[in-house]
Amino acid sequence: MKGALIVLGELGGVEAVARMVNGVLDDLMLAPDDNAPPAPGAIYRAVADRPLKGQGGMMLSLPDGQTALFRGAKGLKPGTPLLVQVTSYAEAHKAVPVTDRLIFKGRSVIVTPGANGLNVSRQVRDEDDREMLLEALHRSRAPDAGHGVIIRTGAVGLDPDDIAEEADSLLDLADAVLADVEGPPELLVDAIGPHDLAFRDWPHADKTVEGFEEHGVLDALAELDRAEIPLGQGSMFIEPTRALVAVDVNTGGDFSPAAGLKANLAVAKALPRMLRLRGLGGQITLDLAPMPKKDRKQFEVALRSAFRVDPIETSLVGWTPLGHYELQRKRERMPIAQGLAQ
């Protein structure tokens, strides 16, 4: 099918959603299972437990005996309650990473307590659109709420009254949470599920349907079980380890002088989608195909361009002394289990 298709379904007994673009699986989100760490976006009332000497951080107590790591805890004393939000999935046997900078995200607006001003996303470049969106926001109580409000690109084309209604709803939620700081550790706002996330973060689609098997999602998922990903004559292997995600690039049967550069440019284009579909984050190391140092700039430009449109925050760290290229990617998704589509 041509165009963008959002497919709702289940995998392994948990809620899931896929985005197909022109018949190709472009993105996938799954609900965490019962044993997974807290999901990004969840808001807790936590209690300061013990400082991490020399690291400028504090271990926090969460409900059910869980612990969180809060960096930048200068002046925070043990026993003090505070509101925190999960920033990413915790690695195995590690504390949950959290921040005290809460955000309340909707389809059309984002509320940022502690910030000031009403703003429109920089990605909305049309001046008429920007003016209309700000006018819609002024129909809500945002101008007098005392919180920062950002209008997202997903607001373009929506009914102004719907934008104002969502802004008021998020502002009410923010006020309620900020007023609930006293007490023992407690989950105040749970992270939303994949179907709601798709509605919020994938607002533009030609059609929304149900059924993974009927719409080719299961066939596409089967390919994620293979480490090797063909890229023309070359290929790349994506192999998660305990410490990092290793990406090995091969030129295959191409023995031309430019074979290494061609393979590496193909990897740059394909890598964001492949990491996204597999739910991989953390430290990522690329063992690229051999290419002259003069071609590194071209590769960097291609990689930066590819990750610029990827929704998951990724830092392009740079080259190592051994000639590998490193990235640091936010752990917004849980890794996809092998054999999940079976």
CATH number of 226-329: 3.40.630
Report the DSSP pairing between strands 81-86 and 314-319.
unpaired
pLDDT at 206: 82
Q: In this structure, are residues 247 and 238 in contact, taking their beta carbons and an 8 Å threshold?
A: yes
132 Cβ contact partners less than 8 Å away, ≥ 6 residues apart: 160
Q: Which two tokens stand for residue 82?
A: 């505070």
pLDDT score at 131: 95
d(CA 256, CA 252): 11
pTM of the model: 0.90
pLDDT confidence of residue 143: 95
Q: CB of 109 within 8 A of CB of 160?
A: no
* Angle made by CA atoms 276, 280, 286, in degrees to the nearest 5: 95
Q: Which of 149, 164, 163 is nearest to 113 (CA)?
A: 149
pLDDT for 173-197, tens place per residue?
Answer: 999 999 999 999 999 999 999 999 9
Q: Which residue has the tokens 């309620």?
A: 176
Look at residue 339 in the predicted model and tell me its pLDDT: 57
Q: What is the pLDDT of residues 220-230, one digit of tens each?
A: 888 888 899 99
Q: Which stretches of the chain score pLDDT less than 70?
A: 1, 338-342
Reduced 3-state DSSP string for 130-164: HHHHHHHHCCCCHHHCCCEEEECHHHCCCCHHHHH
Give Rg (Cα) of the chain: 22
The pLDDT value recorded for residue 255 is 85
CATH 2.60.40.10 fits domain 43-101: no
Classify residue 195 by its DSSP letter. Answer: H
Where helices occur in the chain by DSSP H, the ranges are: 127-137, 160-178, 194-201, 217-222, 259-278, 296-308
The count of residues in the chain is 342
Torsion on CA atoms 204, 327, 70, 99, rounded to nearest 10: -20
Q: What is the pLDDT of residue 204?
A: 76
Nearest CA to 335 among 248, 224, 231, 230?
A: 224
The domain ranges of the chain are 4-31+195-217, 43-101, 104-180, 226-329
